[in-house]
Amino acid sequence: MEAMYIPKEYLAILILLIFGVLFGVVTLYVGRFFRLSRPYHEKLIAYESGNDPTEAPRMRFSIKFYLIAILFVVFDVESIYLYPWAVTYDRLGLFALVEMFIFIFLLLAGYVYAWKKEVLQWEK
Amino acid sequence: MNISLLGIVGYLVGIAALVGLNAVILVWLERKVAGHMQFRLGPMEVGPHGILQTLADGIKLVSKQLVIPDEADKPLFLLAPIVSLVPIFAAMVPLPFSETVQAWELNIGLLLIIALGLLNTLGILLAGWGSNNKYALLGGARAVAQILAYKIPLLICVMTIIMMTGSFSLRDIAIAQKDTWNVLYQPILFIVYIITVTLETNRSPFDFSEAESELVAGFHTEYSGMGFSLFFLAEYSYMFIAAGLATVLFLGGWHGPWLPGVAWTLIKIYSIIFLMMWFRWTFPRVRIDQMLSFGWKILLPLSLINFIITAGVLAL
């Protein structure tokens, strides 16, 4: 059986991510040994400028944010396709360029449509 | 590349020292810059010109109570600062400080930094949701709305540079600018980049997720002590990473006359950070709908047109 390829550089990234988690956990908890902890009711209610909280904080958001998120996903996926294209751009030639222009143009049509439908309009 | 245990420990210590030192210097620098721009002196008491003030503040913050509200979602509330902080160590790895000084050379270093940079927003959203506080949730929601509007121009910006260089490796991108810096070819992109990273690091005039005059303290309203300081450690480290990326992408990395490469890199990085601080104490905060419209209606078409023109020019 062939030896499994382990990309060592990314192993280092993994180690640093684990280090980040440990650093966060340790710094959050290390103060426990020498800091005060005197919780009481008034301190532990949600902060609303000194008043008692009036209603549940998890409110509804405008449907617009949903449309914006969809638009974001569209362009995000676009950039996923464009990145490999961009990195090999000098080897692809004119055909790939024209194809990519068609791709961007199709997305721009959707973008213009969203703009005309006032998805990007916040004020009435 | 041969990685020994000792080497890994060495890198860990080096990167942790860089993160810590950078945060200490930047917090001090920010207060000094703020002070002098308002005809004050800023911190002066602890150490010469107050240079040790941040350490004193750090000791104070460690010993402060960590208040977790009753209503808060406790696991998420504690997870949020950690999520914000975790990627900064790994994101320092591919940054080249000179031809030879770099933690690791990664062939997709640029993608790694961009991907890890997004985790900051996730941490802010978690903080907003986990706090179960109106102001915090609004701050978290704003952070997401603004990152949605500004991530695309940033991605297209970076893509244009990749297209010009033909590599994801930050070292290759810097080497390609040996003679001419990219900022001379792409001045518009440089401006777009600076705007987007100012926003990505939640700096004024785009600090909507904090917006202390509107939302108390935004996403970190309920955080005290170390929870609060971890967010700020992360914020200042992200500033360093964003400025480092700007240096490599647009300002020619370590290239410059007379001084050694590392010195040039640090000079460029801290100049960009100074520029971002200057923004903060000069511009008033814009309104959130103005900011979203600006991102979607101006920056996105602008960077896309720039991308298409660059592609066309390169093809000729």
Quick: pLDDT tens for B75-94: 888 888 888 888 888 888 88
Q: Do A9 and B104 touch (CB under 8 A)?
A: yes
Residue A22: which residues within 8 A CB-CB, separation 6 or more?
none
Task: Tell me the pLDDT band of B2, cut-offs 50, 70 and 90.
Answer: low
Q: Do B81 and A11 touch (CB under 8 A)?
A: no
What does the domain layout of chain B look like in residue ranges? 68-315
Per-residue pLDDT, averaged over B144-166, amounts to 86
Report the chain B residue with the minimal C-alpha distance to residue A49: B216
Q: Do A83 and B141 touch (CB under 8 A)?
A: no
A62 — contact with chain B (CB < 8 Å)? no
Helix/strand/coil (H/E/C) assignment for every residue in B82-118? HHHHHHHHHHCCCCECCCCCECCCCCCHHHHHHHHHC
Position B212 scores a pLDDT of: 74
Give me B228's structure tokens. 């609060």
Distance of CA A13 to the CA centre of its chain: 20
Determine how many CB atoms are found less than 10 A away from the CB of residue B44: 13
A20 — contact with chain B (CB < 8 Å)? yes
Local structure of residue B213 (DSSP, 8 states): T
Pairwise CA distance, residues B294 & B287, whole Å: 11
B293 pLDDT exceeds 60? yes
Pairwise CA distance, residues B88 & B234, whole Å: 7
Report the chain A residue with the minimal C-alpha distance to residue B292: A120
- The enclosing H or E element of B246 equals helix B225-250
Minimal C-alpha gap between B163 and chain A (Å): 5
Per-residue pLDDT, averaged over B86-107, amounts to 80
Report the chain A residue with the minimal C-alpha distance to residue B14: A16
Helix axes B74-91, B5-37, angle to 10 degrees: 100
Cα B222 to Cα A49, A57, B219, distances in angstroms: 12, 13, 8
- The enclosing H or E element of A81 equals helix A64-87
A1 pLDDT exceeds 50? no
Position B3 scores a pLDDT of: 56
Minimal C-alpha gap between B258 and chain A (Å): 33
Q: Do A20 and B86 touch (CB under 8 A)?
A: yes
B226 pLDDT exceeds 70? yes
Position A6 scores a pLDDT of: 62
Q: What are phi and psi of B206, to 5 degrees?
A: -115, 30
Mean pLDDT across chain B, nearest whole number? 84
Question: Which tens digit of pLDDT belongs to each residue from A93-109?
Answer: 778 788 888 888 888 88
Q: How many residues appear in chain A?
A: 124
Q: Of A47, A49, A108, which is closest to B222 when you measure between CB atoms?
A: A47
Minimal C-alpha gap between B308 and chain A (Å): 8
Across chain A, which distance is largest between two alpha carbons, in Å?
A: 70
Local structure of residue B219 (DSSP, 8 states): G
Q: Do A13 and B16 touch (CB under 8 A)?
A: no
Pairwise CA distance, residues A49 & B216, whole Å: 8
B142 pLDDT exceeds 80? yes
ipTM over 0.90: no
Minimal C-alpha gap between B87 and chain A (Å): 6
Cα B24 to Cα A109, B57, B89, B91, B169, distances in angstroms: 48, 10, 16, 19, 29
Cα B48 to Cα B29, B36, B39, B52, B55, distances in angstroms: 13, 16, 19, 8, 13
Position B139 scores a pLDDT of: 86
Give me B80's structure tokens. 């949020």
Weakest mean pLDDT among B29-33, B77-81, B103-107, B204-208: B103-107
Weakest mean pLDDT among B1-5, B157-161, B234-238, B274-278: B1-5
Residue B311: which residues within 8 A CB-CB, separation 6 or more?
A89, A97, A100, A101, B163
Per-residue pLDDT, averaged over B129-135, amounts to 84
Position A4 scores a pLDDT of: 61
- The enclosing H or E element of B131 equals helix B119-131
A63-116 has CATH 3.40.50.300 classification: no
Per-residue pLDDT, averaged over B153-160, amounts to 88
pTM score of the predicted model? 0.86
B283 pLDDT exceeds 80? yes
Pairwise CA distance, residues A2 & A37, whole Å: 57
Task: Report chain A residues whose CB lies below 8 A from the CB of B132.
Answer: 46, 57-58
Minimal C-alpha gap between B34 and chain A (Å): 27
Residue A89, Cβ density class (10 Å: 0-12 exposed, 13-18 middle, ≥19 buried): buried
Does residue B188 contact residue B306 with C-beta atoms inside 8 Å? yes
Question: Which tens digit of pLDDT belongs to each residue from B233-275?
Answer: 888 888 898 898 888 888 887 877 887 878 888 888 889 999 9
Report the chain B residue with the minimal C-alpha distance to residue A120: B293
Mean pLDDT across chain A, nearest whole number? 79
Per-residue pLDDT, averaged over B17-28, amounts to 85
B170 pLDDT exceeds 60? yes
pLDDT greater at residue B274 or residue B213: B274
Minimal C-alpha gap between A112 and chain B (Å): 10
Q: Do B134 and A46 touch (CB under 8 A)?
A: yes
Task: Tell me the pLDDT band of A5, cut-offs 50, 70 and 90.
Answer: low
Position A12 scores a pLDDT of: 76
Position A2 scores a pLDDT of: 53
A7 pLDDT exceeds 70? no
Give the residue from A63, A27, A84 showing the smallest Cα distance to B78: A27
Mutation test of the interface with chain B: which of A78, A87, A104, A115, choosing the one with the most B Cβ atoms within 10 A?
Answer: A87
B24 pLDDT exceeds 70? yes
Residue B86: which residues within 8 A CB-CB, separation 6 or more?
A17, A20, A21, A24, B119
Q: Of A19, A28, A89, which is closest to B166 when you measure between CB atoms?
A: A89
Does residue B169 contact residue B109 with C-beta atoms inside 8 Å? yes
pLDDT greater at residue B160 or residue A58: B160
Pairwise CA distance, residues A65 & A58, whole Å: 16
Q: Of A16, A45, A97, which is closest to B70 when you measure between CB atoms?
A: A45
Cα A65 to Cα A102, A115, B209, B292, distances in angstroms: 28, 14, 16, 11
Q: Could you give the percent of chain A with pLDDT greater than 90?
A: 0
Pairwise CA distance, residues B153 & B291, whole Å: 13
